Amino acid sequence: MNPTRPSLSELARESGERERARALHWEGSFDEYLGLVEERPALARNAWQRLYDMIVSHGSVPPGPERPLRHWTLFDDPEGGGRDAVFGLDAALDELVLTIRAGARGLGPERRVLLLHGPVGAAKSTIARLLKRGLEHYSRKDEGAIYTFDWHVDGEVIPSPMHQDPLLLLPADARLSVEARLARRHRGEYRLAIQGELDPVSRHTWRELSRRYDGDWEKVVGHVRVRRFEISEQDRVGIGTFQPKDEKNQDSTELTGDLNFRKIAEYGSDSDPRAFNFDGEFNVANRGMLEFIEVLKLDMAFLYDLLGATQEHSIKPKKFAQTSIDEVILGHTNEPEYKKLATNELMEAFRDRTIKIDVPYNVRVQDEQRIYERSFGRSERGWPTLAPHTLETAALWAVLTRLEEPTHANMSLLQKARLYDGQAVQGFGPEHVADLRAAARREGMGGISPRYVQDRLAQALVRSEGSVDAFDVLEEIEAGLRHHSLISNEETRRRYVQLAGTAREAYEQILQEEVQAAIASDAEELDRLCAKYVDNVRAATLREPVLDAAGRASAPDERLMRAIEERIEIPEARKDDFRAELMNFIAGVQREGRTFQWRENARLARALEHKVFEDRRDVIQLVSVVSTVVDPDARQKIRVIQDRLMRQFGYDELSAARALSHVAGLFARTHAPKAEPQAA
């Protein structure tokens, strides 16, 4: 054996696995469990309180200038490494958490079904999955510990089939005393209470032992062993999931359990609880959470079970009395199903016991882009790469399909999307965003699903043998719209195609700006131009001549100054004000003992870059005829621009060449000389 290699026991000790395993497999008497509850009153929480504490335990980010609502960290999927992170739904998630908080405090939501309502692909199932996964991991932590009990009678172990709280073993008069002690020791924002009755199996065992011991409670609970357990969806412990089938195959026993015919012969009666399988979804979800997938597709008989479960916290298994349950019931549904509910008078009772939480699509491009980055952000070896702004453009198109037309007459839909995204839009500011959101009635509840965009991105990657850019993806998007199964309205289809054109124009604008920046990013040329401009502005402001390197004096070059100022739309009437502001800015920098850098003044930097670009725009013209260019100097100019695009903006060689070629085509069309009118 290698003496330098640690043993398995040493590794277990170092990792703390042995201590964790010991804690997770704790077992003790009922009296020992009461001692644990005395030390940690939170063990007496109900399902709503446990779910709320689980969410809070992951932390949150409070509201701030860039985030108007609290952000709950659980929905970043910390347990899954961000695989199921939810983006851009802070409003819906905050409403959900506040509703769960109200239920934990016993204010009413604990007697309702939580209904996540929204379009397909809006992350409703993902939210439910994160809550379930969060409960699983929380139950393995000390602060989330949860306990149940078994009966040990005459060598037989009889588990509580619904993993009930051991405190339900307390007689009614003792419960009040224990609750009072819990209230004095508990520091949480909710009240701890012992509610519910034992399940039929435990009630049967209790009666048998009470007869044996003439009602001596202490001797009865002497047969109880309390143990810790873990919530697990896979093992159907503490989490249930129900998905409706067609009406002919729906059976309410899937929710409340069914008879075990093999055991009927053993116990002699079909009303003996030991001959019943308490394994319906309501049963297995006890102490945790039950998810109803497409809940509004349930048969009416199922809905009656659901109403009793929410309002009375009890279910009615076949042949048995009402049985207590303690669980959060969460359903989700899409728009068509909910509209049917709203118009069905027979569903009034269900609507009255439902808290609807709208889960819309993203209406911020940044958040939508993060969804796509999760799947396509990293290029796999051997696969085509994505050019810069490809995912951003796809996200922009998706968001445009979900936005309602702005109420402001001078605002375009693209400007609205940019405002929502926190970008600067001339003539509008952040104060307009609140008004736009208030005016929108159902924004984000319609439009294109992220799944469609992901499918088209995948298609573009599969078809390409090189780099994929936004033009490729927009082509795939438009082609797919012709056969999209969820678009039956031709007018809607045409609108989506038009919005693809809007996204294409926005992408072209980005390309032009980056190519322009690459062409104009000759640092030495910019420094020279800035020095020349500042010298002329200083002379013009002080009404002095300009001195060249040889000491010769000349008048300020008004043509040069205006050529630069016009690039940032400084009118003739405002030129003196702009120049004075610039001189004051430079003077302030010098008073601080620093050297003026033109990049510190954003407007001046933009003007200089525009001027250099105009002086060198012939490079763009060279690209449009690159196949016939043989001049090495011209080819070198083009290569320099491509290298800058790669270095400054993250293009690869192919996507840089495509971007430069496309902008050259745009430039040629925009600056082409107008044809002279022919003589009649």
Distance CA 414, CA 103 (A): 41
Mean pLDDT of 150-167: 96
Band of pLDDT at residue 680, cut at 50, 70 and 90? very low
Instruction: List alpha helices for 403-449, DSSP H.
Output: 413-420, 431-439
Distance between start and end Cα atoms, the chain: 104
Which of 519-523, 532-536, 601-605 shows the highest mean pLDDT? 532-536
Helix (H, G, I), strand (E, B) or coil at 242: strand
Distance CA 413, CA 406 (A): 6
Q: Are the C-beta atoms of 288 and 86 separated by less than 8 Å?
A: no
For the stretch 90-125, pLDDT in tens is 999 999 999 999 999 999 999 999 999 999 999 999
Distance CA 405, CA 412 (A): 8
Helix (H, G, I), strand (E, B) or coil at 279: coil
Q: What pLDDT sits at residue 604?
A: 83
Q: Scanning the structure block, which residue is given the tokens 């860039």? A: 66
Distance CA 413, CA 429 (A): 15
Q: What pLDDT sits at residue 673?
A: 47
Q: Are the C-beta atoms of 359 and 123 separated by less than 8 Å?
A: yes
C-alpha distances in angstroms, 244 versus 115, 118, 198, 331, 428? 16, 18, 29, 12, 49
For the stretch 607-618, pLDDT in tens is 887 777 777 666
Distance CA 309, CA 354 (A): 12
What are the structure tokens assigned to 103, written together?
């239920």
Question: φ and ψ at 379, to 5 degrees?
Answer: -80, 130
For the stretch 339-356, pLDDT in tens is 877 777 767 888 888 999
CA angle in degrees (0–180, nearest 5) for 114-119-121: 100
Mean pLDDT of 435-439: 87
Which DSSP helix (H) or strand (E) runs through 456?
A: helix 450-463
| Higher pLDDT, residue 136 or 274 | 136
**What share of the chain has pLDDT > 90, as a percent?**
49
Amino acid at 116: L
For the stretch 410-429, pLDDT in tens is 899 999 999 999 888 888 88
For the stretch 66-96, pLDDT in tens is 777 899 999 999 998 899 999 999 999 999 9
What are the structure tokens assigned to 672, written together?
């082409």
Mean pLDDT of 302-314: 85
In Å, how far from its chain's centre is CA 488? 29
Which DSSP helix (H) or strand (E) runs through 222?
A: none
Residue 558, Cβ density class (10 Å: 0-12 exposed, 13-18 middle, ≥19 buried): exposed
Distance CA 176, CA 530 (A): 82
Helix (H, G, I), strand (E, B) or coil at 240: strand
HSE, CB side, 13 Å, CA atoms: give it for residue 54.
31
Other CB atoms within 10 A of residue 339 CB: 11
Mean pLDDT of 22-46: 92
Choice among 166-170, 290-294, 412-416, 524-528 with the minimum mean pLDDT: 524-528
Q: What pLDDT sits at residue 101?
A: 97
Distance CA 43, CA 221 (A): 19
Question: φ and ψ at 240, to 5 degrees?
Answer: -120, 150
| Closest-CA residue to 653 (of 662, 664, 644, 642) | 642
C-alpha distances in angstroms, 341 versus 52, 124, 300? 29, 18, 12
Which DSSP helix (H) or strand (E) runs through 39?
A: helix 30-39
Residue ranges covered by each domain of the chain: 365-518, 523-615
**Residue 149: strand pairing partners:** 226
DSSP 8-state secondary structure symbol assigned to residue 579:
H
Beta strand 71-72 pairing with 276-277:
unpaired
